Each structure stands twice: as structure tokens, then as C-alpha cells.
Chains A and B, each alone.
Chain A
């Protein structure tokens, strides 16, 4: 009995060796994981790359920014992905995990900007909001309406409660779940931007950063904010069916559905391509991808893929990515990242 068990164990280990060497020698395509926001742009570049070069088309999975970093930082080797897309910068903890697992030599490339839009159906008038009102409408604990410098659970039920000039419809916001990079960016830009407008909350940033982040980033859980998953198509359909609801999604979805939905004004600025590009629209965030330099030497095609992504005809103002809703970076930034890619400058986090 014991002999059989030992034999089976040895046998299983022996069989893995040829399989792993087979797998190791066999990967001739680029493996990319990461953000679902960058996915529509990366897939276009990948397809273009596959059609115009003799290399195989890269395989791109949409795992979310957080999930992508988890897979990316698991180690060096052909069984791990080469590139991860992200709709936010890598966190210090994730960078530390990467280094711990031997993933040193990471190249960071910013590809452009994406606007986050609060959209509603074209059947009603567009909302004119400020970031302060967004914070008051969506935070779990808000400053006491009476004026005292303390927090109370969010009492506002309709938009009119927040600001008398807004319509008297129930606050119903469909947004991404906590795993989404879009949500991270939204809480950081819109909600924190609004929370900061209260002097005493802003002062707390220096005194007690943990509490400050908790106040600004926690979204209410009493049913006014509904987690509608990553499927933006579904959010657009729900907004069409329910004109009183508001949805949070990326600018590219607004661009493709301008006949059904419109973006709300935030701080007086409407979400248009131009307004996001020159920084007037306040809720826009940069999109990145990260490359393992060690893999760039082994997997065929990575250098050429990077060249395709950083070429003017893809990420420039007249490029095919901007046609899809990606807001291009200013010329100087594009030049900087293009030269970073050419010289493969390693990322060093100075935070």
C-alpha cells in the first residue's frame, strides 16, 4: 500500500517535468491581463499588431486592475502574464509583492486618459452637479446638515435634499463594484474631491489620513448606490429603462451611445473629448500598462507590440484609439513614454 502511494507520488512529479518544459518552450504569443477599462483599447492595438506583423495576436484577458496585478506579480516565467493593464497606478503593496516574487524590472507606460462620466437617459434633462454634491449624495457618512463638525449617516434621499436646485428624484446611482479600478478612480477623484471642500475634513488629511480616506472613499450601502457590475452595456440599458437613475461608467461608453445617454455637468463642465483632454473636466484618470522587462527578452513580439502601442497612429490625437474614446496625452507626455519604451526605463516607485 505504502509502496503504491510512493510510486504514484513520484510518478506524478515525473510527469510534470516534461509537461512544464513543454509548456515553457511552447509560448510564442504575448499574454496580457488586467483592467476592463483598458481592455477595449489594448484589444484594438493587439488586433492591429497581429494583422500587420508576422507575430501571433496577443491574448488579452479582462480580469480587473486588481486581479491583473495579482497574476502579474506572481512571478517570472512563461506561465505568468507578460503585461498587465491598469486603470490606476500600481499600489506600493502590489509593487512590494512583485519584488518579493522576483518580478523586478517593471516598465510603466501611461497610454492616455479616460473620463469617468455620471450619465443619465436622454429622456430627462442633464444633471448639473458639483463634486461636493456627489460626495453628499453618495458617501456613507456625511457632515451634519446642521453645520456641526461631525459625521452622521447619510440622510439624503432625493437629489433635491442635497441641493434645492436639483430635481426631486430619488438618488439611484448604478456603479462599479469594489473590485473595479473605475470605482477606485471615482472615489478618489469625485468623492474625495467633494469631501475636501469641507474645511474640517480637509484638515483631517494631515492629522489622521486613515480616517480621512475612510470618510471620503466609503460609499453608502443603504440601497441608493447599486453595484451594477462591470457590464457597461447593462448599465446603459437600465438607464434607458429608468430615466431617474444615474450611471457611472467610462467616457468610451458615452461616446458609443450618444443617442441614448448624456453625461452630467460636473463643476460646470460637460464631459466632452476636448474638455477631458485639456483637463477642465475634473473626473478623468490616466490609464497604464506595465511590462516585465525579463519577459521582453524571451517572448517574441513584445518590443514590436510596445512600438505599435506607442506609435502616433495608435495613441496620437488622430489615432485609432482616440476614435474609440481614449483621450490622448499631451505631446510632451507622449514623447516621454515613447522614449521610456525605447530605452526600457525601469519603474522605481517614489511615493
Chain B
């Protein structure tokens, strides 16, 4: 008896001695977890800060205030739509700087206003023809070089031939700024027009509508087909070698690189079916093929997670198999299915490679109005702008990425809300 009492004391001692090490190890393990989360958050913060710092200036655009004389002679020579509005802008600039004489200097002077300023005047006159013959001060878009200078992206201290703006132009810009004729305003153009070669006239609306139409098609096709396939495979299909083969193939398809789907789309949808190139409907079909495996896999796990007691209880009170699946199992599995759908949609929103093969990587200015108009998508627009040499596109690329992220967060928030709404606990 003495021996066993001594022995049990020693076990307690051993345990007590090791306790400190165990607590320290557990504490370290918790710290590792916290450090891992902190590192991820730091990288996420770095991403947002880098994008924000580079892109926030794109939301402001420099405007120049010009006194425009809507000369009746110029505006009656031809029809109003094709009159020479550029000469109205040129006249106004010459009036502001009457000492500019040589042809070269005049060209530099005219370069201070954007090429789109003439079209802005045309819009004003077409909307309001009574303005012909009058004088008015109008804020017009300034050229992207002026914009870049005011935002500090063009350095003044380098020699003249290393700069986009000449010394004379710098002097004129300073004079305009002193006369309060240059102002930075909110860049509404960015959200209301499509692509352009001039950075000050470029916007994301065309790409946004293209992405929107493409995702509508993707959602409308992939969600019903994916959910129906998952329900069939989980509830109704027999368990034999064929269904195993199908399951393996679906799992593999989820890992196929996305450009393969683009090649498939080119061969089948464009060459065989003859659908129009660069249309959102083709983009939607290609992205449907890409998202289906993700949705099927997520829906199947959601269905598997519904407890068998629910199914048996439904069958027990007399429901048919179809009623059991539709009224009892499906509503409970819906949150998981929505999660899978949103993961698939988010991936589809960011894809560029499959769209390359079907022609959606192109310079398209007009805003698409329906599913068959040629269009691009938001990630494609970002890629095209990143490739352009003009300095103004560098900040617009970051701004477009921010818009893409906002679009994504909105989509995810909707899905999370829907999920919470349908969630049921047992």
C-alpha cells in the first residue's frame, strides 16, 4: 500500500512538472495561429493601400475653364453635328494667350485642352441650340498631360527634352492656374463612358456592362444546371462504376486551367455554332462551363451535410421522394449551394484567359446594350490599360481594379445576406 501511494504521488509530480511546458506549447501554438492571420491581414492591407495610393487620384480629373464664343458663322457652315467645334476651342485659347504666334507654339497651346473638348461642346450645342451666337464660360476636360502635371506625375526639374510638356506649356499652365482657370473635379466620365485612347476620356462603363451581361448569362445557366446535376447525382443516381466515373471527371474539371475552356468555346461556340465573336453570350457560355464543376461539388457537399434523419422523417410522414428532396432537403442545403455559387461567380468575374480566345480582349468603345453586342469584361479592360503607354492609364488601371474589387464585395455581400436569410439551424 505504501508503494502504490508513493507511486501515484510521483505520477502527479511528473504531470505537474510537465504542465508548464504544456501550457507554454499551447500558448505558442495559439500565437502561431494569430501570427498567420496577422500576416495575411498585413498582405491584404498592403494590397489595398498600394491600389488606393496609386488609384485614388484617378477619381479626380482636371478641367480647364474656357470662354467659348459660339460663333454663328462657324456653326452654320455645315450641319450642327459635323461643324468644326475644335476651332471654337482653338479661338478661345488664342484669346487667352494672344502673344502666341508661331504654328508650333499654337499647336502646343491647343494641346492643353483635351481632344474630347470639341465633342463636349457639340453635345452642349445639340442639346441647346439657342446658345448659338452667345458667349459662355464652360469647364472643359483638360489634356491628360496637364492632368498628370497637376497630380505630380510629371516632373518639372528634368530638362525640357525629357519631359512631355515644354517650358512654354508649363508657363501657360501656371498662368491658367493663377487665373483660377484650372480645377480638379470628381471624374464622372470614368463611370459614364466606355474605353478610349485618351486617358482623360476613358471610363469603365463598357467593361462593367460587359461583365454584368456575361455574369448574368453564367449565373442563369450554371446555377440551375449545377444544382440539378448535384441533386440527381446525390439523391437519385445509382451507385455504380459509371456514376463514379462521372464524379471523378467533374472533380478533375474543376482543376482544368481556364484557357482550355476558351479554346473549347472558340471551337464549339464560334466555329461550329457560329455565334457572334466577342459577344457576352459566348463569354457567358464559356464561363458557365468553367463554373459548373465548382457549383456541382459545393452543392453535393451541401446535400451530403443534411442529416439522414430529415430525409427519413419526411418519407416517414408520407412524402414522395421528389417531395422529400424538393421541400425538405433542398431548402436546408441551399446555404451551401449559394456559397459554392458565389465562389464560382467570383472566379468567373476575374477570368481573362478564356475570354481571350473568344475575342473579348479588344478595343471596344461603344457600351454594349444587349447580349450580342461586342463587349469586353472588367479584368480585360484592366489588362488593356496596363499595356498602354500613356501615363494617365497607370492610375486608371489601379482605379479600375478598385472598381472590380467593389463589384466583387457587393456580389459576395449579396450572397452572404441570402445565405443568412435561408440558413436554418437544427
Contacts and interface: CB of A to CB of B under 8 A. Distances in A.
Q: Do A and B interact?
A: yes
A258 B197 contact: no
Given A62-B361, A258-B162, A19 B273 contact: yes
Most buried by A among B154, B164, B272, B365: B365
A256 B389 contact: yes
B113 to A, nearest CB: 14
B359 interface: yes
B362 A51 contact: no
B270 A57 contact: no
Nearest to B390: A256
A43 B387 contact: no
B365 A231 contact: no
A174 to B, nearest CB: 16
A205 interface: no
Contact of B391 (A31, A50, A122, A256): A256
A62 B197 CA distance: 14
User: Dominant SS at the B interface?
Assistant: loop
A230 B386 CA distance: 12
A253 B361 CA distance: 21
Contact of B363 (A46, A79, A233, A258): A46
Interface in B61-112: 82, 107
A336 interface: no
Given A46-B365, A79-B274, A79-B277, A231 B387 contact: yes
B320 interface: no
A121 B82 CA distance: 45
A27 B363 CA distance: 16
Contacts of B272: 16
Most buried by B among A40, A44, A47, A122: A47
B278 A59 contact: yes
Contacts of A84: none
A4 interface: no
A23 to B, nearest CB: 5
Given A16-B272, A23-B275, A233-B388, A59 B364 contact: yes
A256 B163 CA distance: 9
A31 B363 CA distance: 10
A59 B374 contact: yes
A343 interface: no
Interface string A22-36: 011011010100000
Contact of B374 (A19, A29, A43): A29
B158 interface: yes
B362 A59 contact: yes
Interface string B193-211: 0001100000000000000
A40 to B, nearest CB: 7
Contact of A50 (B274, B277, B365, B374): B365
Interface in B259-303: 270, 272-278
User: Dominant SS at the A interface?
Assistant: helix
Contacts of B275: 19, 23
B119 interface: yes
A145 to B, nearest CB: 38
Contact of A19 (B164, B274, B389): B274
A259 interface: yes
Most buried by B among A19, A40, A56, A259: A259
Contacts of B163: 258-259
B389 A232 contact: yes
B247 interface: no
Interface of B: 82, 107, 115, 119, 154-155, 158, 161-164, 196-197, 270, 272-278, 359, 361-366, 372, 374, 386-391
29 contacts: A15-B273, A16-B272, A19-B274, A20-B274, A23-B274, A23-B276, A23-B372, A24-B274, A27-B276, A40-B197, A44-B197, A47-B197, A59-B364, A59-B374, A60-B363, A61-B362, A61-B363, A79-B276, A79-B277, A122-B162, A231-B387, A232-B389, A233-B387, A233-B388, A256-B164, A256-B389, A257-B389, A259-B154, A320-B115
Interface of A: 15-16, 19-20, 23-24, 26-27, 29, 31, 39-40, 43-44, 46-47, 50-52, 56-57, 59-62, 79, 122, 230-233, 252-253, 256-259, 318, 320
**Top 9 nearest A-B pairs by Cβ distance?**
A20-B274, A57-B365, A256-B389, A61-B362, A60-B363, A43-B363, A259-B162, A23-B276, A59-B374
Given A46-B363, A57-B365, A57-B366, 16 more contacts: A24-B274, A26-B276, A40-B197, A40-B388, A43-B197, A47-B197, A60-B363, A79-B276, A230-B387, A233-B386, A233-B388, A258-B161, A258-B164, A259-B154, A259-B155, A259-B162
